[in-house]
Amino acid sequence: MFDDIRPYRDDEVVDVIEKLINEKGLQASIASLKMPRLYQVFPSLACTIVKWSLKIRVQKFHNIEQIQIEVAKYLHHLIKSSTAGFSFSGMDNFDNTKPALFISNHRDIVLDVALVNLALYKSGISTVEAAVGDNLLDQPWVADLMRINKSFIVKRSEDTKRAMLTASKQLSAYIHDTVSNRQQNIWIAQREGRAKDGIDKTNSALISMLLLNKDKQTPIADYLAEINIVPVSISYEFDPCDTDKAIELAEKEATGSYQKKAGEDLRSITQGLVGQKGRVHIEFCQPIQGDYCDSKAIAAAIDKEIISHYKLYDSNLVAHAKLNNLSINDTVLKLLNKRMENLSTAQQHWLLTMYANPVTAKQNLQL
């Protein structure tokens, strides 16, 4: 029933790894990142080196847990090299002995869920199965790579409304079965696509999808208790992709559209992982419980938790002050100006806006 979307199981790991080692696309991607000069001049040689390196490094992996432990080591290194500190709190806000559906704001393609997983791992809590949209999986090997690390597929590219509804029902059933029956944590972003403008808003259509599996006789409160939604608020001091996002937002404003370039998602993933992020904080919020009237009310409750627990940094406060002609911390303004030095006036406005919007959201919450 779920074989085409579920993560791979332990008994599939060895075969999938063997398949990945021989994937030319994966070899080329690693070679272009790790040895760009050699790959440019002798691509076949670079790919061969990558293939044999992979063979040696992955021969110890025979189950999912071994892969996750290795990923955790990489994340520890990544946090040391690309952040000024990673913190998390709120573990006492929810019953961590009960499986949860974590719904977070979405700023980074890969790192959001990776950091949620790291916080859970450090707290001795089972890591999540993570939702990943098939729009990011343009090559079959990319899907294999995600599914071998506890990711499941969200079908967003179906051709007809009927097919989309069928896919949504399958996804809803899978999430409920995973949390309620298989007792496994899940993570999904609050909306499709990153919040490039800094506005963290849950798409009510996501909640409607989650409720598709609910029997008509089951009260919403009971179903919410079964899937156990725990909002998660993720705050980055600086966004490594902020200039790219500002360029995209300015172009959309000017022309009404933006055309992604080939390989843009992969570049965003890489930049998001290795780029400097300053301080990063994750707050686990109160579970969403009670008898809500509809999907929009549940989405609003998630938004309230995420916004109220969002950690504002000087980068947010200074950008908001700059846009509203208030007094400004010159030191932080210099950092923002440095990031904007190659941007047009319109692009600079959007970069400041994406940092300022969380401040505005908090202010509006207090009105």
Q: Is residue 14 predicted with pLDDT exceeding 70?
A: yes
238's CB contacts (< 8 A; 6+ apart) are 276, 277, 278, 315, 335, 339
Q: Which two tokens stand for residue 261?
A: 């370039």
Predicted TM-score (pTM) of this structure:
0.92
CA 214 to chain centre: 26
- pLDDT tens figures, 307-364: 999 999 999 999 999 999 887 777 888 989 999 999 999 999 999 999 999 999 999 9
List the beta strands (DSSP E) in 40-92: 85-89
- pLDDT tens figures, 85-126: 999 999 999 998 999 999 999 999 889 999 999 999 999 999
Q: Is residue 137 predicted with pLDDT exceeding 80?
A: no
Give, in order, the Cα–Cα distances in Å from 337 to each of 190, 195, 250, 330: 31, 22, 17, 10
The DSSP output letter for 213 is: T
Contact 283, 86 (CB under 8 A): no
Contact 158, 164 (CB under 8 A): yes
- pLDDT tens figures, 260-289: 887 787 788 888 988 999 999 999 999 999
* List of domains in the chain: 10-62 (no CATH), 64-241+258-310 (3.40.1130)
* Exposed / middle / buried, residue 240 (Cβ in 10 Å: 0-12, 13-18, 19+): buried
Q: Please state, in angstroms and rounded to a whole number, the distance separating the CA atoms of residues 183 and 68.
A: 18
Contact 207, 299 (CB under 8 A): yes
- pLDDT tens figures, 181-239: 999 999 999 998 899 999 999 999 999 999 999 999 999 999 999 999 999 999 999 99
Q: Which pLDDT belongs to residue 367?
A: 64
Q: Please state, in angstroms and rounded to a whole number, the distance separating the CA atoms of residues 227 and 292.
A: 14
Q: Which two tokens stand for residue 294?
A: 């509809």
- pLDDT tens figures, 163-182: 999 999 999 999 999 999 99
